[in-house]
Amino acid sequence: MSQETRSPQARPREAGTAPRHRRAHTLRTPVGVTALTGCLLVALVAVLGPVLLGTRAARIDTDAINQASSAAHLLGTDNLGRDIAARVVVATRLTLELTLLATAIGTVGGLLLGVAPAVLGRRAGRLITATVGVLVAFPGLLFLLFLATVFGVGSTGAVWAVGLAMVPPTARLVQNLTASVAGADYVAAARILGVGRCRLVVRHLLPNIAEPSVLYATQAAGGILVAFSGLSFLGLGVQPPQYDWGRLLNEQLNRIYVNPVAALAPGLAVVLTGLMFGLVGEALAQAGGRRAPRPRPAAPRRAVTPAREAAADTVPDAADGSLVQVRDLRVTFPGGRHAVRGISLGIGAGEAVGLVGESGSGKSLSALALADLVPHPGRTGARTLRFDGHDLRADPRLGTSLAMVFQDPMAALNPALRVGRQLAEVAEVHLGATRAQAAARAADRLGAVRIPAPERRARQRPHEYSGGMRQRAVIAMGLMGQPKLIIADEPTTALDVAVQQQVLDLLAEVRADSGAALLLISHDLAVVAQVCERVLVMYAGLIVEDLPVTELARGAAHPYTRALVGAVPTMTTDPGTPLATIPGRPPEPGEDGGGCSFAPRCDRARERCHAAAPELAGFGTGRRVACWYPVGTTAGASAVTTSPEGETAS
Amino acid sequence: MSSLELRGITVRYGRFTAVQDVDLLVPEGTVTGLVGGSGSGKSTLGKAVVGLAPRTAGRVLVAGRETDRRRGRGPVQLVFQNPYASLDPRMGIGAAVAEALPGPAAPRSRPFRGTPARARRAARDAEVARYLELVGIDPSRAALTPDALSGGQRQRVALARALAARPAVLIADEITSALDVSVQGAVLNLLRRLQRELGFAMLFISHNLAVVRYLSDQVAVLDGGRLVECGPTDRVLRRPAHPTTRTLLSCVPTLAPTEDAS
């Protein structure tokens, strides 16, 4: 019942490359090439080996018993004078057959047992889960030997023993996988639609657990190969006159000092084939996207266009005395995706600035870049990145004068630590406080964010707090130092409406008490309007408008800001008329036509808008807008020439 | 078309009572907004109606007849909050809508019996295309999987799937709260148009009072699992009778800046 769960995956266009493309790409990686070659080689040997060398491997030659390696017999001969090299090659087929058969038994059994609890009733499901649990607890090797004894010696018995021994761990894995899929909304949706159990399994459960299951099966095949060879080696598996690699190893091991290669060759075959199974699994995992292949090196980046360089200089010079000065901030991801495409902004001491925009507009990344927290493959670049007189890149101020409040307070707090301890850590690390001092300050700060009985609450863990209380605790953590700037990234999105109001009030209060500036990032214009004095509107990685909050409701100059404002139903919207919408979709990162990025969706766009991108330029007093034809000016006039009368705000 | 009537719905999880004794009537062809804070039980109530949450007590009547949730599909469909989770990532959107269509999927459906498989499939594809078009998705994209679609488009597909089941009643559980504001407007417009065209009764669950006000004929307020107020939208929002409603109303953030902010 959380209000909004704007998860990171809520960015469809970043979901990655198409599966087919990814598959083809994986085949070209070293792992893919090696796995494919290995597979083909082993398959070829298994198919052709017995055909070409079958007679040679079976020919008994009493004149050449127990010979060492020679030109005629590459690996020597065994005690009946048979060529060992030929026997190793011929044994490939039987070994592979038995391995794959056992893997199939294990996988099918594991799938059946693993899916059953999700399909059967609650009681039967519990029984199966418990049984699998008991079987998993049983030591694997013991289970295998027990089954081998039960089924008796011979290949059939060994196949069943090894296959069945694989069932419990597979079933456990499948159970866990299905449990997570079975709880998904789309399975619930299928249930409401009255989809039957079997169809549910075939159409929804199995396809969604296929990838990890296949990966597990290939890895298990490697293990089964070794287990099977072990059984044969012990004499429990393949019986003469049949032979597999384990059997050959068994026969030759007693002569290892006389003819070492004869004993090592079948062992080597087992190891290499096992490795091949592992590589196939690895390649499948990459192709399935579980582990992303390393992205191709970024396309050579275009030089920064001189026009934009110049634009960066148009940041109001008044910002020089301000707390935060950012010029030409960029966040780039591999593959040439520019998430933030050169923004410039200034925040005055004690000022509250809102940063609004839709998902994918780069607003959160801009804020993370200020705190030097851009996630891994992303790279931050800026011409100026100054905070409180320091260069942020050389001297990150997080924890002392720069505080960060995240969207999800449960994720921002460590569930294993007491809240007071987590807060105290800040003081110990950054302020050099003693443990007792830090604990006292933590309780004091919790009190400052209006958490009742702060001493007692400090000893509790995050799960004992309500959602709103957790967000208060995170804010308190930011207050452990002496913050001059609080960056709050969607701080109320995960909260209830009533709690949202309390947290917003608290932020305003904290700002009044500490004199800290606030950068509030939100997709919700109304939230920003409540707390902030100035609003920056981002679209497609650029700031398109910078305006005082008093102008937001009626006086916005950029068509995008206007559209955003119009799209939100308010308590005065006429239910009889349709809501304003913005046609089209925002451009994907890297999709840059050269013109204004909003032009394709803008009903005011003209030729000029498609041809050249407008810069963020001064517009009236204390306002900036990136638009050739801002709303409120005479059409066709340049952005800077006219400014609506009487709009002198802040 | 039909009405939805809830009588004494109670949902308990162990000792915790999520929904207690809720009576609610959603009249034929109208929209009832269900509002409340988090934990008020509004989503649980929606789930209990379609059988996803265990009903401890109470009855659900659609068009005056009790629904049987044990077999097949019910007359009530639900659209989920998160369009990123409510569509099977491995299933094409056309297939997802097709799954909801009444027809050959149910083995003993009469109209299609005996028709050749190809004709049956063509009829099915046409139906899928019709529903996709209804929600503004190009039918030529039916083969795409959800990851090729944006959040708003996914929510449209989820809506198409629910409508393809020809529900008498639709429950929309926070369907726009995971979407961007510009997309939210388009989805709300669509929902309103479809509701008027197709005339189904709708229970619209949301925490956003402005959105509820925009869509609903009637508003019901839940608090702590109990229905505390219910009445025509205008009356409830203008003259709230219960303190919970008043609190909710006072917490609606507005674009016009308040005095203490600047």
Kindly report the average pLDDT of chain A as a whole number.
82
Structure tokens at B235: 């009356």
Which CATH number fits the domain A316-532, given the four candidates 3.40.640.10, 3.30.30.10, 3.40.50.300, 3.30.479.10?
3.40.50.300
Q: Check if the beta carbon of residue B34 is closer than 8 Å to that of residue B204.
A: yes
State the helix-helix crossing angle for B151-164 and B181-198, rounded to 10 degrees: 20
Residue B69: per-residue pLDDT: 58
Asked whether the predicted pLDDT for residue A633 surpasses 90, the reply is: no
Q: Count other C-beta atoms under 10 Å from residue A127's C-beta.
A: 13
Residue B1: per-residue pLDDT: 58
Q: Is B143 on the interface with A (CB under 8 A)?
A: no
| Residues of B in Cβ contact (< 8 Å) with A524 | 181, 253
Rounded average pLDDT over A50-74: 82
Q: Check if the beta carbon of residue B188 is closer than 8 Å to that of residue B202.
A: no
Q: Say which of A4, A498, A563 has its CB closest to residue B247.
A: A498
A1 or A182, greater pLDDT: A182
pLDDT tens per residue across span A551-595? 888 888 999 998 888 888 888 888 888 888 888 777 776 666 778
| Residues of A in Cβ contact (< 8 Å) with B173 | none
CA distances (Å), origin A604, targets A587, A600, A611, A630, B112: 18, 10, 14, 9, 52
Q: Is A202 on the interface with B (CB under 8 A)?
A: no
Backbone torsions φ then ψ of A647, nearest 5 degrees: -100, 65
Low pLDDT (below 70) residues in chain B: 1, 68-72, 103-115, 256-262
Whether the ipTM is more than 0.95: the answer is no
CA distances (Å), origin B96, targets A421, B85, B119: 49, 13, 20
Sole residue written with tokens 């599909």: B73
DSSP state of A204: I
Rounded average pLDDT over A492-516: 84
**CA A69, A71, A74, A78 torsion-angle sign:** negative
Q: Say which of B81, B207, B253 has its CB closest to residue A527.
A: B253
- Three-state DSSP class for residue A116: helix
Residue B203: per-residue pLDDT: 95
Closest CA to A283 of A335, A214, A209, A377: A214
Q: Check if the beta carbon of residue A82 is closer than 8 Å to that of residue A60.
A: yes
| Domain boundaries defined on chain A | 19-287, 316-532, 550-650
- Between the CA atoms of A10, A16, A18 and A24, what dihedral angle is there, to the nearest 10 degrees? -160
- Three-state DSSP class for residue B159: helix
- Cα(B126)–Cα(B128) distance, integer angstroms: 5
| Residues of B in Cβ contact (< 8 Å) with A496 | 37-39, 207
| Residues of B in Cβ contact (< 8 Å) with A581 | 182, 185-186, 189
- Cα(A521)–Cα(A517) distance, integer angstroms: 13
- Taken in order of first residue, the domains within chain B and their CATH numbers are 1-75+168-255 (3.40.50.300), 92-166 (no CATH)
Q: Is B214 on the interface with A (CB under 8 A)?
A: yes
Pairing mode of beta strands A324-333, A337-347: antiparallel
Nearest CA in chain B to A570: B210
Q: Which CATH class is domain A19-287?
A: mainly alpha
- Three-state DSSP class for residue A591: coil
- Cα(A163)–Cα(B133) distance, integer angstroms: 50
Q: Say which of B84, B192, B248 has its CB closest to residue A9.
A: B84
Cβ–Cβ gap B257/A570 under 8 Å: no
> What is the rounded end-to-end Cα distance, in angstroms, of chain B?
51
Q: Check if the beta carbon of residue B140 is closer than 8 Å to that of residue A3.
A: no
Specify which residues A385 forms β-bridges with. Answer: A326
Residue A589: per-residue pLDDT: 67
- Cα(A59)–Cα(A80) distance, integer angstroms: 9
Q: Say which of B81, B174, B185 has its CB closest to residue A581.
A: B185
Sole residue written with tokens 């694989």: A166
Do A19-287 and A316-532 share a fold? Answer: no
The whole-model pTM stands at: 0.77
Residue B227: per-residue pLDDT: 93
Q: Is B224 on the interface with A (CB under 8 A)?
A: no
Q: What is the layout of strands, in order, in the sheet containing B201-205? A: B76-79, B169-173, B201-205, B31-35, B218-223, B226-232
Residue B41: CA count within 13 A, CB half-sphere: 26
Q: Is B16 on the interface with A (CB under 8 A)?
A: no
Q: Check if the beta carbon of residue A16 is closer than 8 Å to that of residue B145.
A: no
Nearest CA in chain A to B71: A194
Rounded average pLDDT over A98-120: 91
- Kindly indicate the confidence band of residue A304, based on its pLDDT and cuts at 50, 70 and 90: very low
